Amino acid sequence: MELKAARPPCDAVLMFKILELQTLNNLSDERREYLVNDRLSFMRFLGLELSDRVLNAKTVWLLRKRLTLADVIDILFNRCEASVRNAGYLPISGQILNATLVAPPKQRNTHREKATLRA
């Protein structure tokens, strides 16, 4: 009988997609781990189900470190961005397009309308 002591290897595409989410949303490792568990949109992007286990912060941090030391992380992100652009999408990281606060319109009723509303 053979016992498996280590976890099975992680899917490389899943790990890179996690790095992409983290980079596009400017997230720390811990915050990224929390949001992947919390946001259905992140889970859908990663192809995860509600019952799936999310990679912990340390695992993704180690991948980023290995890719950085191998001097390939920028190459991978540039290729990914080029593929997204070629598909017709514009990747924008961390920008809010419109966050204008608008005051609600003031209600202007006549005295007769106010009396009717009170009654």
Task: Give the pLDDT confidence of 18-28 residue by residue, as tens digits.
Answer: 998 888 888 88
71 is a domain residue: yes
Domain housing 28: 12-86
pTM above 0.85, yes or no: no
pLDDT category, 100, cuts 50, 70, 90? Answer: low
64 falls within a domain: yes
Percent of the chain with pLDDT over 90: 9
Contact 84, 91 (CB under 8 A): yes
Nearest by Cα to 45 from 66, 65, 71, 25: 25
Give how far Cα 46 sits from Cα of 13, 24, 58, 66, 103, Å.
9, 14, 18, 21, 38
pLDDT score at 69: 92
Residue 32 counted as domain residue: yes
Assess if residue 82 is contained within a domain.
yes
pLDDT band at 75 (very low <50, low <70, confident <90, very high): very high
**Using CA atoms, how far apart are residues 74 and 76, in angstroms rounded to an integer?**
5
User: What pLDDT is attached to residue 57?
Assistant: 84
The single residue listed with the structure tokens 């053979």 is 2
**Maximum Cα–Cα distance across the chain:** 89
Residue 103, domain member (yes or no): no
Q: What is the DSSP string of 37-103?
A: HH-HHHHHHHT--TTSPPPPHHHHHHHHHHHHHTT-HHHHHHHHHHHHHHTT-----S--S-----P
pLDDT for the residue 102:
65
pLDDT score, position 63: 86
Q: Determine, yes or no, domain membership for 110.
A: no
- Structurally, how many domains does the chain consist of? 1
Asked if residue 16 has pLDDT above 70, the reply is: yes
Whether pLDDT at 114 is above 70? yes
Mean pLDDT score across all residues of the chain = 81
